[in-house]
Amino acid sequence: MVYHWVNSKGASLGVGTYSDIWRNRYLDLGYVRVDPVVLGCSQQMHPADWKTLDWSSKAARAFLQDALEHGVGNQGLSVPIRGPLGQYGLFTVNHRCSDDEWADFIETHRADLIVLSHILNTKVIALEGEAKTQSRTALSPRETESLTLLAIGYSRAQVAQTMQISEHTLRAYIESARLKLGASNTIHAIASALTQGIILI
């Protein structure tokens, strides 16, 4: 796994379990400019399975071959995270296994990995002193219920049915909660609410 962070001033840090040889090679060869994981995740808000990213260029294929030869797994999931002041984090887990094994792993652990990525991000923001200074408004009971049901895996339709409200009303609750939490999207809002103990699952 690897976690990379860029703060609001452009300074960066990275921690992970890749070998020193691969880490140094990645930096020395400037792979950040061709890495489909970095390029793809910088343009989206949701976690990305590596199979959904664009590996079609000659440079990307050469990079992948070099990564595999240096012990990087053939499967991966990367979670892009945006901080409240424009910070950017990328949390990645990968492994060398079959497509079926990877699909089973992701199905079982996807939600936990997303929460873990946001916990890491929250801790780094706090360590750097870059947390938002404005106070956050407490969530209403209906906003809390909405996020809780989504966190345990209900679809939006199931949440609306359980709460006996329309999906339009549900969207309003989710958007209100997202804004109160300073989250960039619904997944970020759920992760923030979990890490702050606002919702429990």
- Output the pLDDT for position 7: 76
Query: What pLDDT is recorded for position 127?
Result: 77
pLDDT of 136 reads 52
Kind and range of the H or E element at 90? strand 88-95
Question: Which sequence spans correspond to the domains of the chain?
Answer: 2-128, 141-195
Tell me the mean pLDDT in the region 46-55. 92
- What are 185-197's pLDDT values in tens digits? 999 999 888 877 7
**Element spanning 25, H or E:** helix 20-28
Residues 6+ apart with CB under 8 A from 159: 146, 149, 150, 170
User: Tell me, what's the pLDDT at 67?
Assistant: 97
Q: With a cut of 70, say whether residue 135 has pLDDT above it.
A: no
The per-residue pLDDT for range 71-107, each reduced to its tens digit, is 999 999 999 887 666 678 899 999 999 999 999 999 9
Count CB atoms within 10 A of the CB of residue 27: 11
Q: In the chain, what percentage of residues exceed pLDDT 70?
A: 92
Q: How does DSSP assign 29-86, residue by residue?
A: TTGGGT-HHHHHHTT-SS-EEGGGS---SHHHHHHHHHHHHTT--SEEEEEEEE-TTS
Element (H, E) at 92: strand 88-95
What kind of fold does domain 141-195 have according to CATH? Arc Repressor Mutant, subunit A (1.10.10)
Q: Which residue has the higher pLDDT, 148 or 9?
A: 148
Taking alpha carbons only, the member of 142, 193, 187, 131 closest to residue 169 is 142
Which residue's structure tokens are 């400037």? 30
The pLDDT, as a whole number, for residue 19 is 94
- pLDDT in the model for residue 164: 94
Contact yes or no for 181/189 (Cβ under 8 A): yes
Whether 2-128 and 141-195 share one fold: the answer is no
**Spelled out in words, what is the top-level CATH class assigned to the domain 2-128?**
alpha beta
| Residue 133 pLDDT > 50 | no
Residue with tokens 């106070």: 135
Which range scores top for mean pLDDT: 85-89, 137-141, 144-148, 151-155?
A: 144-148
Above 60 in pLDDT, residue 132? no
φ/ψ region of 14 (left if φ > 0, alpha if ψ in -120 to 50, else beta) reads: beta
**Residues 9-27: what's their mean pLDDT?**
89
Angle (nearest 5°) at CA 37 between 36 and 43:
90
Taking 60 as the threshold, does the pLDDT of residue 134 lie above it? no
pLDDT band at 35 (very low <50, low <70, confident <90, very high): very high
**What pLDDT digit, counting tens, does each position of 160-185 carry?**
999 999 999 999 999 999 999 989 89
Angle at 103 between CA 190 and CA 114, to 5 degrees: 20
Task: Report angle CA 155, 105, 92 to the nearest 5 degrees.
Answer: 90
